[in-house]
Chains A and B, each alone.
Chain A
Amino acid sequence: MPDDRDQILSRVRGALSQLPKRAAMPDYDGAVELARSRARPIDPVAEFAERLKAVNGEFVAGPAELAASLRGHGWTTGYCEPEVWPSLAPHFDGSFAVSTEFRRERLDDYQFGITRAVGAIAETGTIILSDGASGRRLASLAPWAHVSVIPRARLYLDIPQAIAALGSDPNSIWVTGPSKTADVEGILIEGVHGPGAEIALLLG
């Protein structure tokens, strides 16, 4: 539709040509403007755990605690990304049935999905997934519980730091707690289309 393109751009130019002067881009430092008022300097790991809890996510301290938590919820059938399974497998006993192959047609059979995250944001309790480093998109989305394994070195303090690290992966997504809605009478319900549980494990 070259016609529509030309038409729109010429109308836009026409509309703007009447302006005696255009509004300038303000000069600002995002990191300074967005810095929150704080009583004390933060410990990133403690802050991440606390913020994740505040959005109804779950922070686990190590692989053994992760296995115990999943078992406690009764989630024993799931998928784990092959790249992280060797470091977790020793903590998962015979009561678990974990597959390292995700099959689209078996979407409803996985109670949990374990994938890598590319990083996390302490200030908001957010995990960061990307096409290149977090396995397949459905595995972190379709099962009721999603576990992300986060490299400790990639724990960003705040949003401006995480934005600066976005990079050139074709797709990144920030996930802050379980999928939720308040469409029905403003009442908060978790687990709408995505996970009803978001569990995070820092490693390394």
Chain B
Amino acid sequence: MKTQPIDAFAEGMTAEMRAAVHEGSKIGHEKRTKLLFDHYANPNRLRQLAGEIKQHVVENLDTYLPALESRLVANGVRVHWASTAESACEAVHGILKARGARRLVKAKTMVSEEIELEKYLSDRGIESLETDLGEFIVQLDHDRPSHIIKPIMHKNRRQIADLFERHGLGPYDDEPAVITQRARQFLRHKYLEADACVTGANFMVAETGRMVIVTNEGNSRFCLAGTPCHIALVGIEKIVPADRDLGLFLNLLARSGTAQQLTVYNEFILGPRGAGQPDGPEEVHVVFVDNGRSDVLASECRDILRCIRCGACLNVCPVYRQASGHAYRGPYSGPVGAVLSPLMLGERFAEKADLPKASSLCGACNEVCPVDIPIPDLLLRLRDKAFALGIRSPGTPPMGAWAVLASHPVAWRAAMAGGAILNYLPTKLVPVRALRAWESSRDLPEWRGGAFRSWFKRHAKAPASGPNDHG
């Protein structure tokens, strides 16, 4: 049996990286729990409500998308549509070319990772600079982000200090405050020199056309204060119905993502800068990106489109903690990535069909999800889908012998009775290393094979007498 790709990746991680990811995700999760329960008697009610709202939006995208589009246009925003990653890159390039733009600043956008915008633009002579501290470090290091909202969770301060020294940002100093100050000094004039900015969007309000961008560092605000042209890359599922729903979502996003009651900057954008306002974009573009999302919508896993990208399911996931985000081979990692990434590939589903298997189905991801996505159910559906498509990825335990036993009553009864030999056999002698290791600190329970069958036979004969009757 070959190892699953995700396990193979985890085995190859350095101890340093494993410690960074484990500690980072654990702290994130613990802080979140405390804050939510400090302020609300029943935070689950909020999660369920938010989940119902997003499910409603997802199942009515055919009316919400055109409604949002006409609000945006009425507000003076130019709307573009991109069905694939390539057409999204083309749309951005087209906007930049029309303005003669050469230099771009980017605030964190997962969609731009997804469509690999940086490479597309640099091949065409346009330089794009990441401004989120973590993304800036990832870009300098030619690395990839390993977490939806904490891109450098897999790095420690010594590696970053080395990197800054190599790139002439100052002599080695691994104090996080110094690292941050150096990035601040380097980046602040870049915003003013840039010809345009690219951001994502956290929420798009259908009722008003309001775009909401949420950051802690203030980099997206600097993009929107320093550059004359704003391009927002927006997944088609990012909609909420009305302004009033923002109260719920901004609250849950901050608490779930970074354990804050509110993220530092929540920016509400209706269109180009106001009359008399000297700073900020005179042009605002929204690019609606599909890139596989309509395939997800057509699947039995459309609930995953509720996701608001907070990262809480990554932090709590035992597999993510051991394997890190890079093991998921794409911009979306952890439980949400295990569902989203294979589906977004459409007909190339098989390439990532192994991801839904890398889960113990413990249910923690569903419990923390601010929009209550039943992730374990979705993982099971994807396992079924892979099986139905005949995809055999490595790491599937051989179940053939089990299948024979379970489908032949005679063989099953014999095995149940024969298993009793374990009660007399000194298991120390069984030549299976894993079993001996397990037994070194535990005792095997007594074999009681067949007990359930005889219990069931006794009870099957009597009429059912009530749910609490256990005999």
Interface status of B458 (Cβ within 8 A of chain A): no
A8-B290, A12-B297, A189-B177 given; A131·B273 CB < 8 A: yes
Residues of B within 8 A of A1 (CB): 80-82, 87, 91
Q: In angstroms, how far is the closest chain B Cβ from the Cβ of A91? A: 28
CB pair B297–A23 under 8 Å, yes or no, is no
Chain A, 132-188, CB within 8 A of any chain B CB: 132, 136-138, 141-142, 159-160, 163-164, 166, 168-187
Interface status of A39 (Cβ within 8 A of chain B): no
Q: In angstroms, how far is the closest chain B Cβ from the Cβ of A158? A: 8
Interface status of B294 (Cβ within 8 A of chain A): yes
CB nearest to A123 among chain B residues = B261
Q: How far is the CA of A182 from the CA of B28 in the complex (A)?
A: 10
Q: In angstroms, how far is the closest chain B Cβ from the Cβ of A184? A: 4
Q: Which of A22, A55, A170, A173 has the most CB of B within 10 A?
A: A170
CB pair B294–A12 under 8 Å, yes or no, is yes
Q: Which of B179, B221, B270 has the most CB of A within 10 A?
A: B221
SS of B interface (majority): helix
CB pair A37–B160 under 8 Å, yes or no, is no
A7-B83, A104-B192 given; A25·B56 CB < 8 A: yes
A137-B279, A183-B133, A184-B176 given; A22·B59 CB < 8 A: yes
A25-B53, A131-B273, A179-B216 given; A185·B157 CB < 8 A: yes
The interface stretch among B183-191, B324-332, B382-390 is B183-191
Interface status of A30 (Cβ within 8 A of chain B): yes
CB pair B269–A170 under 8 Å, yes or no, is yes
Q: How far is the CA of A4 from the CA of B177 in the complex (A)?
A: 46
SS of A interface (majority): loop
CB pair A15–B265 under 8 Å, yes or no, is no
Q: Which of A23, A160, A178, A192 has the most CB of B within 10 A?
A: A192
Interface string of B268-299 (1 = CB under 8 A from A): 11111110111110000000101000100110
CB pair B60–A163 under 8 Å, yes or no, is no
Interface status of B432 (Cβ within 8 A of chain A): no
Q: In angstroms, how far is the closest chain B Cβ from the Cβ of A17? A: 9
Interface status of A44 (Cβ within 8 A of chain B): no
Q: How far is the CA of A60 from the CA of B189 in the complex (A)?
A: 31
Residues of A within 8 A of B258 (CB): 182
CB pair A23–B56 under 8 Å, yes or no, is yes
Interface range, A side: 35 or more
Residues of A within 8 A of B176 (CB): 184-185, 187, 189
Interface status of B41 (Cβ within 8 A of chain A): yes
Residues of A within 8 A of B244 (CB): 30, 160, 163-164
Residues of B within 8 A of A124 (CB): 261-262
CB nearest to A195 among chain B residues = B218
Q: How far is the CA of A183 from the CA of B103 in the complex (A)?
A: 25
CB pair A183–B137 under 8 Å, yes or no, is yes
Interface status of B61 (Cβ within 8 A of chain A): yes
Interface status of A107 (Cβ within 8 A of chain B): yes
Q: In angstroms, how far is the closest chain A Cβ from the Cβ of B76? A: 8
CB pair B267–A179 under 8 Å, yes or no, is no
CB pair B23–A186 under 8 Å, yes or no, is yes
CB pair A33–B46 under 8 Å, yes or no, is yes
Residues of A within 8 A of B40 (CB): 36-37
14 residue pairs of the A-B complex, CB under 8 angstroms, read: A1-B80, A22-B59, A30-B247, A34-B248, A137-B277, A163-B247, A170-B75, A176-B262, A176-B266, A177-B264, A191-B180, A192-B180, A192-B217, A193-B222
Interface residues of A (CB under 8 A from B): 1, 4-5, 7-9, 11-16, 18-19, 22-26, 28, 30, 33-34, 36-37, 55, 104, 107-108, 124, 126, 131-132, 136-138, 141-142, 159-160, 163-164, 166, 168-187, 189, 191-195
Interface residues of B (CB under 8 A from A): 20, 23-24, 27-28, 39-41, 45-46, 49, 52-53, 55-56, 58-62, 65-66, 75, 80-83, 87, 91, 131-134, 137, 150-152, 156-157, 160, 176-177, 179-181, 183-184, 187-189, 192, 210, 216-219, 221-222, 224-226, 236, 241, 243-248, 250-251, 258, 260-274, 276-280, 288, 290, 294, 297-298, 302
Interface pairs A-B: 6 shortest CB-CB: A194-B218, A131-B274, A15-B298, A137-B225, A11-B294, A137-B279
List 5 extra interface pairs beyond A1-B91, A182-B258, A184-B180, CB under 8 A.
A16-B60, A34-B247, A124-B261, A141-B222, A177-B264
